[in-house]
Amino acid sequence: MAASVGARVRVFAVTLVAMGAAASGVLWGGGAPGADASASVRGWGVDLGVGSGVVARVAAQAGPPFWPAARPAGQPGARSDGGPGAGAGTDALNGTGGEVRSTVRSSADSGSEKGSQEVFFWVDPESPAAGQAAEWRRTGREADALLMERIATRPQAEWLNGPGPRTVVETRTTAAAREGRTAVLVAYYIPHRDCGSYSGGGAVSASGYREWVDEFAAGIGDRSAYVIVEPDAVAQTVAGCGRVVPEERYALLAYAVDRFKRQPNTRVYLDAGNATWHPDASRLVEPLKESGVARADGFALNVSNFQTDAVTSAYGDLLSAALGGTHFVIDSSRNGNGPHDGTESWCNPPGRALGTAPTAVTGAPLLDAYLWVKRPGESDGTCRGGPAAGQWWPSYALELARNARG
């Protein structure tokens, strides 16, 4: 495998020379830092630049996962807003990042009807990671700045978890549309969110939630977006939350799915927890159906958790089969080293690493994309010395980037 990849890298480099490309290359997403071109494996690519400025990014178009990892079981994961209840993946991220502050290209070819189109996920040029990298560069921490760019240069989801979502949604999707990109958004405002744990909150009533969803959807308009609907909401209800009336919650989720799907260029994925929260996937089938999964583009797995891509994909295939072939996406943001063995393994666990770079090229017919739904470096909650859920934590972000394979 290594020899084949190396050969493909050299062929690609020769192709660039033949095309007269007067540029230097920095390999990202896989392989050794400083390589001169990209390999044709999923998640790989090359930054083309003159001097230290990256002027273009070429992404690989196909190939299998390349960086596996491992992780424990049983616990829910923590949101970008904190709290237990989701998952992560296997494959770790490689490369040194670069000076890019714009986009990462992914070509969707997952086998779904919409998956045959190219997808360009949007990168926020003003993300906390981008600001941190710039600050460290100004203060002479060049090595740490380069590591932070492993996060800053990759697409991450925007979490909408408070009142009045329209302005932020409109701003993000408009910025993405200007570049011909797709924004990834998370709707996280269901009543009794996180069952009152680290990420407790949400709308105060069912009618208030429906109004919030309407406002969110209006903010998308006809622009391109992926929407992850309510991390934990189904799985946590199945696990048992005394504050929640299941029928009411499932009806609200179905409303959200249907409302978002009215937007012409929006793909919708209903969260279904992670592979170890409900090992018996059949427990989720009816609740997901009641929540409108059949009218969504699919379901999301491993949001904010650390389960490997291999474990999560296998679980997704089982759940998909029980749902009649429904597609799914995986949050691979922090699963490069798999799960942590210890207490509260979902909450700011030590020794974790970035996972598979976001891409819609998965090599699996049911898997539509690897996404960074949880924003690497944002705390899971006030555990292990972390700040409040969803707050930026530079030292934890740096650890994730430093531990990324490569």
What are the φ and ψ backbone dihedral angles of 225, each rounded to 5 degrees? -155, 150
Cβ-based neighbours of 396, under 8 Å, separated by 6 or more: 348, 377, 379, 386
CA distance 313 to 305: 14
- Give residue 79's Cα distance to chain centre: 11
The residue assigned the tokens 């302005």 is 167
CA distance 75 to 370: 21
pLDDT at 109: 35
The residue assigned the tokens 């949050």 is 331
> Is position 36 annotated as part of the catalytic site?
no
Q: What share of the chain is helix, strand, coil (3-state, %, to 5)?
A: 35, 20, 50
pLDDT at 79: 41
CA distance 120 to 136: 28
Find the catalytic residue in 109, 124, 232, 368. 232
pLDDT at 406: 59
**H/E element, 54:** strand 53-59
CA distance 333 to 353: 8
pLDDT at 197: 85
Identify the CA nearest to 376 among candidates 331, 313, 342, 333.
333
Strands 118-122 vs 367-371: parallel, antiparallel or unpaired: unpaired
Question: Sheet holding 24-28: strands in order across?
Answer: 24-28, 45-50, 53-59
pLDDT at 63: 30
CA distance 320 to 345: 26
- Give residue 147's Cα distance to chain centre: 19
Strands of 173-277 (E only): list them: 183-187, 225-229, 266-271
> Is position 214 annotated as part of the catalytic site?
no
**H/E element, 313:** helix 309-322
Sign (positive/negative) of CA torsion 79, 328, 291, 253?
positive
> Is position 380 annotated as part of the catalytic site?
yes
Buried b (16+ CB within 10 A) or exposed e, 360-385: bbbebebbbbbbbbbbbbbbbbebee
Q: Is residue 2 packed enough to be buried (19+ CB in 10 Å), middle (13-18) or exposed (0-12)?
A: exposed
Task: Go through the domains of the chain in sequence order and give each one's CATH number.
Answer: 2-53 (no CATH), 103-403 (3.20.20.40)
Give the gyration radius of the chain's Cα atoms: 20
pLDDT at 396: 98
Find the catalytic residue in 91, 124, 144, 194. 194
pLDDT at 405: 86
**pLDDT values of the chain reduced to their tens digit, one per residue, 406 residues:** 433 333 332 223 323 323 333 332 333 333 332 332 222 223 333 333 323 233 233 333 233 232 322 222 333 333 444 333 333 333 334 333 333 333 333 333 333 444 435 699 999 999 999 999 999 999 999 999 999 999 999 999 999 999 999 999 999 999 999 999 999 999 999 999 999 888 889 999 999 999 999 999 999 999 999 999 999 999 999 999 999 999 999 999 999 999 999 999 999 999 999 999 999 999 999 999 999 999 999 999 999 999 999 999 999 999 999 999 999 999 999 999 999 998 999 999 999 999 999 999 999 999 999 999 999 999 999 999 999 999 999 999 999 999 998 5
pLDDT at 198: 84
